[in-house]
Chain A
Amino acid sequence: MNILSKSKFLPLAAFATVAIFLSFPAFAQTDSAKKYVQDVGNQVLVIISNKSQSDDAKEKKLIGIFNQTVDTEWMSRFVLGHYYRQATPAQLKKYKDLYRQYVLESYVPKFRQYTGEKFQITAARAEGDSEYVVQTEILRPNQESVRVDYRLAGKGGALKIVDIIVEGVSLINTQRSEFGSVISREGFDSLITKLDGMVKDYNSAHG
């Protein structure tokens, strides 16, 4: 009797121990991913709702946050898909730098349209062993909320944002279709020329 219950108990205990060890880091990690998005979101909100600062000063600070938190290097590679292998090292070097500026200049200045929206984190899940999706809602006065997911990648404490998914539409997947279309129709150099044009337009409009 004693032996029987022991023999039943042991595998159970072993299983429970393994299960706890396996699941605990995952929970801890999704929590740290949530905290990461919460912290970055709070920092951004503090900057853009500060009434005593000029838009230019705000933009400078936001660019600092963007450079720290968004992994444009990884994104630039993902967006090229299989065209990545067809580009020359010189083309890639030029492309990666332009890509970073292009994403930054396309989305950072949007803070000027801020009208008191708030955000809340609704869920998080791990994808594989080093990626997380943190689901948030942007709450807008008088309007339906908008679902925005952040995809984070990186092991240990070094998480970075690699995608923003608005109502199911992913930034980098959309860019992959868009960039792929340009490359297949007009070639890689045309992609670089177009990115360069976008970046130059922006710079001339903003001094």
Chain B
Amino acid sequence: MNKFLSGLFFLVAFIIAAFAPLSSYAAHAPAPVPETNYYAQGQDMADYLEPINRGIFEFNRFADRILLHPIASAYKDIVPEQGRAATGRFLRNLASPIVLANSLLQGDMENSFATFWRFCINSTLGLGGFFDVGSQVGMHSKKEDFGLTLGHYGLDHGTYLVLPILGPSSLRDGTGMVVDLFFDPLNYLPSDYDYVPYVLDSGRIVSGRAAALDFTDTVDKVSLDPYATYRSGYAQRRYDMLKGDGNGVKSNDLSAFK
């Protein structure tokens, strides 16, 4: 996706979020009042812009139906599973500088170390990141971004935001996405190569959409209110990445579970 266009979309959303008369929307905000305290935190998030968000959500569903879903399905049909997995690893490896910057900002030396060496090992022995040799030798890197860094220092989501094309986000995480653009060395390439980020971002969107197909198809089939399902799912996923015991800790590294 066009980075500047999506940045512009976000700025518009940001301005709306920053200057919209919040009190007039407060009546629409769901008040998650759990009966028990089971997982009360992170179950859902405030949604002061629900009417606007629902509008963008419907637009995204339409764009997805006519464009993204067919492209992602075709990609899934044509490229075998190993190829898609390798592409996913390649793209994730290229995002390592963003993860490293945010791990450092959070003072997480362990993840900084693992991310740095995983990137070095995968870029060389892993043939440019297509193979995740780093994780096989114990360099497990948790996913981090500037939204999580802000969360690490106690900043809340603010409000839920649905970004055009990019989907579920929040005031905090959307701001984080813009900041992360500055951490990505690929955005500082000489002008002869300035198409590279666009190619990679298109790849990211298609690869990510293809990986999510099973999940989104299930939600679309069984959800009584997909908008609320995605909002709650996003809130829980981000909470898990921030506070949970999961975030990228996969098999052959079970020490974290005790």
Residue numbers of A with Cβ under 8 A of B are: 78, 81-82, 84, 102, 106, 110, 113, 120, 122-123, 135, 137, 139, 141-145, 147, 167-170, 173-174, 176-182, 184-185, 191, 194-195, 198
Given contacts A84-B35, A120-B251, A168-B244, contact A178 B81 (CB under 8 A): no
Given contacts A174-B229, A177-B32, A182-B225, contact A169 B82 (CB under 8 A): no
Given contacts A82-B33, A123-B258, A169-B233, contact A181 B225 (CB under 8 A): yes
Residue numbers of B with Cβ under 8 A of A are: 30, 32-36, 38-39, 43-44, 81-82, 85, 214, 218, 221-225, 227-229, 231-233, 236-237, 239-241, 244, 246, 250-251, 254, 257-258
Interface core residue of B34, B227, B232, B258 (most chain A CB under 10 Å): B232
CA distance A180 to B34 in the complex (A): 11
Closest to B83 in A: A142
CA distance A6 to B232 in the complex (A): 59
CA distance A178 to B235 in the complex (A): 13
Give the chain B neighbours of A81 by CB distance below 8 A: 32-35
A180 in contact with B35 (CB, 8 Å): no
CA distance A102 to B222 in the complex (A): 8
CA distance A38 to B39 in the complex (A): 24
Give the chain A neighbours of B236 by CB distance below 8 A: 168-170, 173-174
Beyond known contacts A106-B221, A178-B225: 19 more, CB 8 A cutoff: A78-B36, A81-B33, A81-B35, A106-B218, A123-B257, A145-B250, A169-B240, A173-B44, A173-B232, A176-B43, A176-B232, A177-B32, A178-B223, A178-B224, A180-B32, A180-B228, A181-B227, A182-B225, A185-B225
Q: Contact partner of B81 among A84, A123, A137, A142, CB < 8 A?
A: A142
Q: Contact partner of B85 among A84, A139, A142, A174, CB < 8 A?
A: A142
CA distance A174 to B233 in the complex (A): 6
Give the chain B neighbours of A137 by CB distance below 8 A: 250-251
Give the chain A neighbours of B214 by CB distance below 8 A: 113
B239 in contact with A198 (CB, 8 Å): no
Closest to A173 in B: B43
B26 vs chain A, min Cβ distance (A): 14
A151 vs chain B, min Cβ distance (A): 9
CA distance A110 to B219 in the complex (A): 13
A74 vs chain B, min Cβ distance (A): 11
A64 vs chain B, min Cβ distance (A): 21
A154 vs chain B, min Cβ distance (A): 15
CA distance A181 to B43 in the complex (A): 13
Give the chain A neighbours of B257 by CB distance below 8 A: 122-123, 135
A54 vs chain B, min Cβ distance (A): 23
Closest to A127 in B: B38
